[in-house]
Amino acid sequence: MKTDIDHNDPAKNMNMTAGNGGETHQRAGDDAPVLTTQQGVAISDNQNSLKAGPRGPSLLEDFVLREKINHFDHERIPERIVHARGSAAHGYFELTESLAEYTTAKILTETGKQTPLFTRFSTVAGNKGSKDTPRDVRGFAVKIYTDEGNWDIVGNNMPIFFIQDAMKFPDLVHAVKPEPDRGFPQAASAHDTFWDFVSLSPETMHNVIWLMSDRALPRSLRMMEGFGIHSYRLINKDGKSTFVRFHWKPVLGVQGTTWDEAVKISGADPDYHRRDLFESINAGDFPEWEFGVQLFTEEEADKFPFDHLDATKLIPEELVPVKIVGKMVLNRYPDNFFAETEQVAFCPSHLPPGIDFSNDPLLQGRLFSYLDTQLSRLGSPNFAQIPINAPKCPFANNQQDGHMQMQVPKTRVLYEPQSLDPTRPRESAKRGFGSFHEQLDDGVKGRVRAESFADHYSQPRMFYLSQTPEEQAHIASAYAFELGKVDTAHVRMRMLGHLLNIDKDLANRVADALGMDLPEAAEPRAPIQDLPESPAVQTIGLSPETLKGRMIGILVAKGSSRSEIEKFEKAAKDAGASVKIVAPGREVILDDDTRIESAERIAGAPSVFFDGVVSIIMPDQAKKLAKDSSTLDWFNDAFNHCKAIAYCPATEEHILSKLPIEKDEFVTPLSEVDAFIDNAKTRLWSREPKVRDLA
């Protein structure tokens, strides 16, 4: 707990001069760094443009002004067409178990070595300035700077995708993005065009049900699983291929928020996930994931009750276990958002030798798209020379010129074959990337979709039936919420027809919540199978009971007991949580007359920021706060979001007694510190049906 606040900041008034615009600013001393133009010419005045007299017009001659404004005018590049909103961090990959039996890729065979990487998380639909917590899929893209070239695992936080063929991607994205005539809604799937498209595309049903689940509302970027989705191949030294799917498993477990929380967080802190990533890394609490692989042969794949080349299908972990072979630690926040997070360019086609693509038609389309999009986003085929994109191993080729060429090739020879310069790089059949020699069927060329891709309902059904009852209620409520925003009745009706194929109870719950009658079920193209349940797809069921990575909020005010505050602060921190003191102001005098600094004013720190809340206030302050709606919401929301609350007598008498808060086992007096700490490790989900009308 911070106690001493120094109001004397001597640095504040150093070297200050008043400009004739009235502004106060610092001027460099003789040895201090000097501001210069792009050409390195020192600037004498960065406050005033060059004018013909104090009230006269500005002069064209002013190269300092022109250069400054010119650069400013061009400081934006096009945002990503999808995944525009993102946050990233540097870190490392470390292999713990060699996959030498399956691949020659050094990154998957050399254990114990730390290889640098850069990971960017994103939402999909919203623009660059949109909120962090919409209901959305999250991008999970990792660039590993291996010794054999960059490896980009460009995945999501869900193991499947909406569509089976790259041909449909622009349609999907046009449907979910803001409707083009009106330009809204931003970062939301709850609108007619999205549901119109998906209700006409049964292949989307699996990803849509994941989107309606708690997986679409991550509590933190540190608490998301990552999936490479598509099947890839590992190729060993004998040229043998094994199929593989890549997984990232968060050490903090998978955790979500409720929808109501996500909505409130987005208002109170649109940067909630970015801030959490920044704060956790700065606190030395480094986000970490285990790296795992699902390995299977062609023969095993032939026995799966689905086609693994279809990206709308996951391979249940119960069928092919995820073998943990490494880890990723994120330990450095970018120094500059634009240079790194914005300019990083991921391409699924970036692979080191020993890893190869499968024939998944969605993956095949992506291999074109990402390289192509970088041209319009970063403006030049030389984007790979930007530091965040450049490999950290030596690279050399004969590609020349173009916008922003940063290299200066010192050679006469930029072609092959050549006999003039023996030092120039040449192809190497031995070390170079080799594609798997796949024997292809003599198929007929045509615009076709494999019949083995036709089962669109069995896995969504498996997903729904594998959830805990609480999660099923969240999923049904999410469908009801989203379809409730759809104005076109036949679209809502068509979706109910699909839900009937997923689960009758689900369809009934959604129809009831919408006040609609159920239509006929949609006609399935393939028989719907009853697959074994897969608990690995849950969210609540996978949330560990821990305070690690969680945040406790302690409300204090004038005269609050220092010893009580310290008791809770210590207990929470000992259990691995972070703690934030919340108060009516930014400074508070406690019962022992010391002054402390709060992390936030209560008006700016609603309880949705915390996993458990504690209130330690004196009666006079409690009476005052009882008239403040943000304080009342603080307690009400904590209760409605099934969180633990520890209260003092004054809070009980003046605040809780006025609110519809029932004293269940998660609402405890200050004396029960241990009970509070235990409760804050989880949520009291049985409270939820009492406070919310779930579908």
Query: Minimal CA–CA distance to 221: which of 130, 119, 304, 318?
Result: 119
Token pair 């508070």: residue: 588
Parallel, antiparallel or unpaired: strands 612-616 and 644-647: parallel
Residue among 391 and 559 whose Cβ is closer to ligand HDE = 391
Nearer to ligand HDE, 66 or 377 (CB): 377
Strand bridging mode 578-583 / 551-556: parallel
Minimum distance of ligand HDE from residue 369's CB (angstroms): 4
Distance CA 26, CA 666 (A): 54
* Closer residue to ligand HDE in complex, CB, 16/167: 167
The residue among 229 and 510 lying less far from ligand HDE, judged by its C-beta, is: 229
The least CB distance from residue 488 to ligand HDE, in Å, is 26
Q: Given 15, 25, 71, 83, which residue is catalytic?
A: 83
**In the complex, minimum distance from the CB of residue 59 to ligand HDE, in angstroms, rounded to a whole number:** 42
Q: CB of residue 279 vs ligand HDE: minimum separation in angstroms?
A: 21
CB 197 within 8 A of CB 189: no
User: At its nearest, how many Å lie between ligand HDE and the CB of residue 536?
Assistant: 18
E strand or H helix that includes residue 80: none
Instruction: Go through the chain and tell me how many residues it has.
Output: 695
Q: How far, rounded to the nearest angstrom, does the alpha carbon of residue 471 sit from its chain's CA centroid? A: 21
Shortest distance (Å) from residue 118 CB to ligand HDE: 10
Query: Packing angle between helix 489-502 and helix 469-484, nearest 10 degrees?
Result: 160
DSSP 583: E
**Shortest separation between residue 80's beta carbon and ligand HDE, angstroms:** 4
Interface ranges with ligand HDE (CB under 6 A): 80-83, 86, 120, 122, 139, 141, 154-156, 161, 166, 169, 229, 311, 345-346, 362, 365-366, 369-370, 373
Q: Give least dist CB 317 to ligand HDE, A.
A: 18
Structure tokens given for 225 = 């699983």
Q: CB-wise, 345 or 618, nearer to ligand HDE? A: 345
Catalytic residue among 90, 150, 156, 191: 156
Nearer to ligand HDE, 141 or 608 (CB): 141
Radius of gyration of the chain (CA): 29
CA angle 47, 50, 52 (to 5 degrees): 135
CA distance 525 to 539: 30
Q: Which is nearer to ligand HDE, 229 or 625 (CB)?
A: 229
Looking at residue 145, the DSSP 8-state letter turns out to be: E
Amino acid at 294: Q
Map 168-192 to HEC letters: HHHHHHHHHCCECCCCECCCCCCCH
d(CA 607, CA 276): 15
Nearer to ligand HDE, 362 or 500 (CB): 362
Spatial separation of the C-alpha atoms in residues 423 and 418, rounded to whole Å: 11
Q: Among residues 246 and 639, whose Cβ is nearest to ligand HDE?
A: 246
Per-residue buried b or exposed e for 135-174, using 16+ beta carbons within 10 Å of the residue's own CB: bbbbbbbbbbbbebbbbbbbbbbbbbbbbbbbebbeebee
Sorted by sequence, the CB contacts under 8 Å of residue 537 that are 6+ apart come out as 314, 462, 463, 466, 467
Of the CA atoms within 13 Å of residue 406, those in its CB half-sphere come to 10
The pairing of strands 355-357 and 600-601 is: unpaired
Count other C-beta atoms under 10 Å from residue 71's C-beta: 11
Residue labelled with tokens 């909630």: 272
Cis peptide before 185 (omega within 30 of 0): yes
In terms of CB distance, is 111 or 369 closer to ligand HDE?
369
Smallest separation (angstroms) from ligand HDE to the CB of 270: 18
- Specify the residue, 141 or 277, whose C-beta has the smaller distance to ligand HDE: 141
DSSP state of 58: B
DSSP-derived letter for residue 218 is B
- Least distance between ligand HDE and beta carbon 552 (Å): 32
| Residue 640 C-beta: closest distance to ligand HDE, Å | 33
Neighbouring C-alpha atoms within 13 Å toward the C-beta of 230: 25
Q: 11, exposed or middle or buried, with CB in 10 Å at 0-12, 13-18, 19+?
A: exposed
Q: Which residue's Cβ lies closest to ligand HDE?
A: 139
* Smallest separation (angstroms) from ligand HDE to the CB of 226: 9
Q: Is 350 a catalytic residue?
A: no
- Residue 273 annotated in active site: no
> How many CA atoms within 13 Å lie on the side-chain side of 209?
35
Nearer to ligand HDE, 132 or 470 (CB): 132
Q: Which long-range contacts (CB under 8 A, 24 or more apart) does 594-603 make?
A: 594/3, 594/562, 595/3, 595/4, 595/5, 596/1, 596/2, 596/3, 596/5, 596/556, 597/2, 597/5, 598/556, 602/555, 602/628, 602/630, 602/631, 602/634, 603/628, 603/630
Q: State the pairing for strand pair 587-589/595-597.
A: antiparallel
How far CA 535 is from CA of 318, 319, 476, in Å, comes to: 8, 12, 18
- Rounded Cα–Cα distance for residues 58 and 42 (Å): 20
Joined together, the tokens standing for residue 662 give 């029932």
User: Could you list the active site residues?
Assistant: 83, 156
